[in-house]
Chains A and B, each alone.
Chain A
Amino acid sequence: MNESAVSPNLDAGHIGTSKNSRFRETLYRLAKDWVFIVASVVMGAILGSAILAPLVATHDPLSISILSRLQPIGSEGHILGTDELGRDMYSRLIYGARLSLAMALLPVFFAFGIGTGLGVAAGYFGGTINSIIMRSIDVFFAFPSVLLAIAISGALGSSTTNVILSLVIVFVPPISRVAESRTTEVVGLEYIDAARISGASDFTIIRVHLFSNIVGPVFVYASSMISVSIILASGLSFLGLGVKPPTPEWGVMLNTLRNAIYVQPWVAALPGCFIFVSSLCFNLISDSIRTAMDIKP
């Protein structure tokens, strides 16, 4: 109904683009972007393996075998070799993906929710509320993110939950800033005024009028944080602040295999490869999405 009911005097440049077809246009552009496709396939494979780990893995990730310690890549029965305790690397990497990716994706997810909430509140209500929220957030900008993450994890103690918590704290400030600036932009437009004089509650106005107009850019920004999150989360585990051995996780594995670099260097470097590849894929994917949506970085 949208496409056919187009009136004769149209504004130039917007012919036939309803909100639905803009979405389709983005998808169409993405489908032609081979970088996006390759990155998505690779990421999909990793994610898929992580989810289906029991089906895809060849060994029990925890089973130790001192005799077959530090076998090289391409050994019989162990495609990617074994670690310092004889555990199969391939299986450990697959299972490790679960924790590594969870510790990377969950904080961004939570920070997106919290950050958007705070940013919208600050932008919509303005004035004192805005000052309080944004100034408090400014304090966190005084710390470099790595330091903040390490300090919080270090203070709270090593556990997966604390890693997620500290990363949420690291990501909420930048996301809030983007949400607040976009909200402030939109709130200045007349249709918000019009909504206000309708007598609708603030919550309704935010829900109906504000949210869909700001969520796009904020979401794109948040998704660009995923690659950083992967590196930070695994980095924290690498320092011993996250998962504890023998639980498989890429950062922890990279750490415990450090001494193995003199014996089987490339096996020892494997977990890091996965971190790198995942981070790279997410970066490429988010860059492609941003280009396809025409949003300037």
Chain B
Amino acid sequence: MILFILKRVLYTLPITFAVSIVCFLLVHLAPGDPVSAFLPPQASAEVIAAVTHELGLDRPLPIQFLHWLSRVVVGDFGVSIANGRDVFDEVIGAFSNSLILASVAIPLAVAFGFALGAISGYCRGTLVDRISTVVAIGGVSVPHYWLAIVLVIIFAVENNILPAMGAGPGDSRAWSWDWEHLRFAVLPAVSMAVVPMSIIARTVKAVVAEVLSQEFVRALRAKGIGSFRVFIHVVKNAAPTSIAVVGVQVGYLLGGSILIETVFSWPGAGYLLNIAIFQRDLPILQGTILVLAMFFVFTNLLVDVLQAAIDPRVRRY
């Protein structure tokens, strides 16, 4: 078991390295001179050259990469081209906002997803099952950014129940877990949760239905073992796959938060990414992509380890 964890962690290293290369290359493959993008248009060629040299952008790519990597590893992500602030602080700050949103969205997705899936799985073929299947397919096909807009229309525009944008009342940049702030998170979280919820529901339903159809269960029931025990059995068998799917969805959730955050102007990592793209703020761009990707890699690692802890079959690596 420990060996498996160690191997799995070790496997993360080359992936991390590859991810960092991709992050680095991504922004450097962009057409157009990054320097002239943020300098005033009248800047002379000498000024451009000087700034380029100062930022180290005229050195060969591999050298730039190593230079960048050596700084990133110690947490120095550089300085934002747009507003001069420390990239690391900006990104971490934005990321923590995204996490706040995720921490509301994930429980929603997991709870409703499991409930929907389990009910479907238990009551196969009934009306309840058919309804939840329809809901699930709808949920999987819905563009979450559109759903966000529709929710805003319903709850903010037509009926002024919930706010349409922002992450807190007034200009407050600090978050607190009270309803004053949480009400801002409701609509974004719901929009983010629908797709993962549907995917989780679909997977859970399939697993539950499969477990219930096993002869094992019929034998248990024939022996007179109560439904509760059967339920425990179902949970134990459905757990590994379910955890896997939740893990994957968590990863995607954070990666795809950019669209929802844009709709609601929620100051998360996705929102930051959006701004950085349009301002061609390379350091922020690199920093955000790196952090988001690393989080995804980390989530995958966690899911694999968790799965191995629960399902001994996985450990035979």
Task: List residues of chain A with CB under 8 Å of any chain B CB.
Answer: 138-139, 142-147, 150-152, 154-157, 227, 230-231, 234-235, 238-241, 254, 258, 261-262, 265-266, 268-269, 271-273, 275-276, 279-280, 282-284, 287, 297
Could you list 12 examples of A-B contacts with CB < 8 Å?
A: A139-B19, A144-B254, A145-B252, A147-B255, A147-B289, A150-B258, A154-B277, A154-B285, A272-B145, A272-B150, A273-B146, A276-B142
Q: Are A146 and B153 in contact (CB under 8 A)?
A: no
Q: Are A279 and B141 in contact (CB under 8 A)?
A: yes
Of the candidates A157, A234, A241, A262, the one whose C-beta lies within 8 Å of that of B31 is A157
- Complex contacts, A280 vs chain B, CB 8 Å: 137-138, 141-142
Once A262-B157, A269-B146 are accepted as A-B contacts, the answer to whether A157 and B30 lie under 8 Å apart by CB is yes
Is B273 part of the contact surface with A, judged by Cβ < 8 Å? yes
Of the candidates B146, B263, B289, B293, the one whose C-beta lies within 8 Å of that of A276 is B146
A256 → chain B, closest Cβ, in Å? Answer: 12
Once A154-B285, A265-B158, A272-B146 are accepted as A-B contacts, the answer to whether A144 and B255 lie under 8 Å apart by CB is yes
Closest-by-CB residue of B relative to A152 is B26
Is B230 part of the contact surface with A, judged by Cβ < 8 Å? no
Closest A-B pairs by Cβ, 4 of them: A144-B255, A272-B146, A146-B256, A154-B277
Once A144-B254, A268-B149 are accepted as A-B contacts, the answer to whether A283 and B27 lie under 8 Å apart by CB is no
Chief secondary structure at chain B's binding surface: helix
Task: List residues of chain B with CB under 8 Å of any chain A CB.
Answer: 15, 18-19, 22, 26-27, 29-32, 137-138, 140-147, 149-150, 152-153, 157-158, 206, 251-252, 254-256, 258-259, 262-263, 273-274, 277-278, 285, 289, 292-293, 296-297, 300
- Complex contacts, B255 vs chain A, CB 8 Å: 143-147
A271 to B143, CA, bound (A): 11
Q: Are B137 and A272 in contact (CB under 8 A)?
A: no
A140 to B25, CA, bound (A): 13
A146 to B251, CA, bound (A): 11
Closest-by-CB residue of A relative to B293 is A143
Closest-by-CB residue of A relative to B195 is A231
- Complex contacts, B22 vs chain A, CB 8 Å: 139, 143
Q: Are A272 and B273 in contact (CB under 8 A)?
A: no
Closest-by-CB residue of B relative to A140 is B22
Q: Are A269 and B140 in contact (CB under 8 A)?
A: no
- Complex contacts, B18 vs chain A, CB 8 Å: 139, 142
Once A275-B146, A279-B143 are accepted as A-B contacts, the answer to whether A142 and B26 lie under 8 Å apart by CB is no
Q: Are A142 and B296 in contact (CB under 8 A)?
A: yes
A235 to B148, CA, bound (A): 12
A71 to B258, CA, bound (A): 31
A54 → chain B, closest Cβ, in Å? Answer: 27
Q: Are A147 and B256 in contact (CB under 8 A)?
A: yes
Once A146-B252, A152-B26, A241-B277 are accepted as A-B contacts, the answer to whether A279 and B259 lie under 8 Å apart by CB is no
B32 → chain A, closest Cβ, in Å? Answer: 7
Q: Are A261 and B157 in contact (CB under 8 A)?
A: yes
Most interface-central of A143, A272, A279 (chain B CB within 10 A): A143
B26 → chain A, closest Cβ, in Å? Answer: 5
A283 to B18, CA, bound (A): 33
Closest-by-CB residue of A relative to B297 is A142
A38 to B252, CA, bound (A): 31
- Complex contacts, B206 vs chain A, CB 8 Å: 297
A73 to B161, CA, bound (A): 25
Q: Are B274 and A239 in contact (CB under 8 A)?
A: yes
Q: Are B30 and A144 in contact (CB under 8 A)?
A: no
Once A143-B255, A145-B252 are accepted as A-B contacts, the answer to whether A240 and B146 lie under 8 Å apart by CB is no
Of the candidates A151, A154, A235, the one whose C-beta lies within 8 Å of that of B143 is A235
Q: Are A269 and B150 in contact (CB under 8 A)?
A: yes
- Complex contacts, B138 vs chain A, CB 8 Å: 280
A231 to B153, CA, bound (A): 20
Closest-by-CB residue of A relative to B28 is A155
- Complex contacts, B293 vs chain A, CB 8 Å: 142-144, 147
Q: Are A272 and B26 in contact (CB under 8 A)?
A: no
- Complex contacts, B153 vs chain A, CB 8 Å: 261, 265-266, 268-269
Closest-by-CB residue of A relative to B262 is A239
Q: Are A254 and B146 in contact (CB under 8 A)?
A: yes
Closest-by-CB residue of A relative to B263 is A258
- Complex contacts, A273 vs chain B, CB 8 Å: 146
Q: Are A272 and B157 in contact (CB under 8 A)?
A: no
B129 → chain A, closest Cβ, in Å? Answer: 15
A235 to B147, CA, bound (A): 12
Q: Are B256 and A275 in contact (CB under 8 A)?
A: no
Q: Are B259 and A258 in contact (CB under 8 A)?
A: no
Q: Are A283 and B137 in contact (CB under 8 A)?
A: yes
A280 to B147, CA, bound (A): 14
B15 → chain A, closest Cβ, in Å? Answer: 5
B57 → chain A, closest Cβ, in Å? Answer: 15
B193 → chain A, closest Cβ, in Å? Answer: 15
Once A142-B15, A238-B145, A284-B137 are accepted as A-B contacts, the answer to whether A147 and B258 lie under 8 Å apart by CB is yes
Q: Are A156 and B285 in contact (CB under 8 A)?
A: no
A268 to B278, CA, bound (A): 24
Q: Are A151 and B274 in contact (CB under 8 A)?
A: no
- Complex contacts, A152 vs chain B, CB 8 Å: 26
- Complex contacts, A254 vs chain B, CB 8 Å: 145-146, 149
A163 → chain B, closest Cβ, in Å? Answer: 13
Closest-by-CB residue of A relative to B146 is A272
Q: Are B29 and A261 in contact (CB under 8 A)?
A: no
A158 → chain B, closest Cβ, in Å? Answer: 9
A258 → chain B, closest Cβ, in Å? Answer: 7
- Complex contacts, A146 vs chain B, CB 8 Å: 252, 255-256, 258-259
